Structure 1
Amino acid sequence: MDLKGQLDRFKKQQERCQSTLSSINASRAPPSAPSRPSSSSSSSSVPAATSLKPAPPVKFSNDTERLQFINSIRKGPVGAQIKRVIELLFETRQAFTPEQINERCYVDMLSNKAVFDSLRNNPKVYYDGRRFSYKAKHDVKDKKQLLSLIKKYPAGIAAVDLKDAYPNVMDDLQALKASKHIWFLSNADSQEDIAYPNDFKGQIEVDDEFKSLFRDIDIPSDLLDVEKELQKIGLKPVMNTAQRRAAAQIQGVSNKPKQKKKKQEISKRTKLTNAHLPELFQNLNASSSRN
């Protein structure tokens, strides 16, 4: 029976129960009996409140709105139902059976094979054959495990891959950065935060004599000489300076800077179209005064 049929059946049961209660209350009303003489002592011992009052009618809770809400979820798209279940698993980080999921978020996986199969094969969901739980990209549970994971990635690991590990993982990343256990930098290309391990073993002291030898190395100023030195040690230069210079000579490209054109001055014969800008005609006025 579908949900609408269950709702109609529930309303009819309410009507029948209300009618039964009304008939029961009517039968409990005290019948009219002739008054009997009684002594003052007996009348005083019986309180006036002994007369039976009709019980108030029982009101059944109206569950229509809740049933309509559940029906809208179960009749909704498969993708919307999957999203609802994944949000439940992500927020609680607990494992649920299909029956428990139905109780928590009203998604009936047992009656909807498409939802069940999609969740079972979803990369964000772990299914052990009985229960469903959230599956993060990296299985870490606390700050210690997080630091151990970052140390396995010397080239860095994106923060977006760590955000779903556990609820307060971003706070732990900031704490590891503050304690200088990691470097938390922003990638200029993708605008994403990257976590790098701060390997203390790489911090070594360099002898001053070695620094002096490095600074005393004479580097040729001409790129052609630099490329020759690179070729001597078996390295291929990125640019071929000799070939570029030969091509420039063939094409007649001159290295001399181009001369700037002389700025044309305004004379008396110039047709004036910008009379509203007098500062443009200072040279003209000066030459007129000399003449």
Structure 2
Amino acid sequence: MGSLQESLNRFKKQQEKCQSTLKSIAGSKTSSRPTTTTPAPRVVPASTLAKSPLPAVKFSNDTERLQHINTIRKGPVGSQIKRVIDLLFESRQSFTAEQINEACYVDVKGNKAVFESLAKNPKVTYDGKRFSYKSKHNVRDQKELLRLVRTFPEGIAVADLKDAYPNVMEDLQALKAGRQIWLLSNFDSQEDIAYPNDPRVPIKVDDELKQLFRSIELPRDMLDIERDLQKNGMKPATNTAKRRVMAQNGNILNKPKQKKKKKTEISKRTKLTNAHLPELFRNLNG
């Protein structure tokens, strides 16, 4: 506070010295020629300078980034593990602890709990230096995917293939469109199953299953069939109830009958070109 007051006093003395210098210059000019008097400069009171507010301090972008990093590192271990696994899954690359720290701000090397949980995670492979994502089936493209499905003639769950590589679902749809595999739903588990569609793959059906299939008696009424399909989570392609109501109300139009062509009768006015065949003209209308 004392240094500030001394600075203000020095500033005040400088202002007074400048004012006296200006006055002497103005007096010398007035003696030579008449001029308008120059107003004295306004002296700012020392009290006003002392009370002027200081500019507010703004946080830099670097400060905000450090706060964000601190929030991540103080978060639960599970949330930090998820950030690392998401990084490994999306990139499909291997990362050291330092590279993970730079990419997602998780200090794997400096946090023992995070390091041990990450190294033991079933979705992570750790070779002693680098971490990488570990999928259930090690396939990398469509050819390897098809080869894997063909090794499961009884079918393989699509859920076990979803994390194989980033565009595996698109490749499954492409193989289905090319009729190289079948994608069917399991009624018990409500999950999709991929089956190979390859004549080279032997598929053996038990006699018991065949007998069970043949012993199932379908309802005779389409309404009952549609109800059974809806109970099993399937949408019928027909709506028998609606069609029957429309038929009762006469809203279903029958196809128009085609008009029969009128036979052209031969009369005396008809020009006969086949006169050598008289049997054709016995029934001429008069």
Under a length normalisation based on structure 2, what TM-score does the superposition of the two structures give?
0.49
| Structure of larger gyration radius | 2
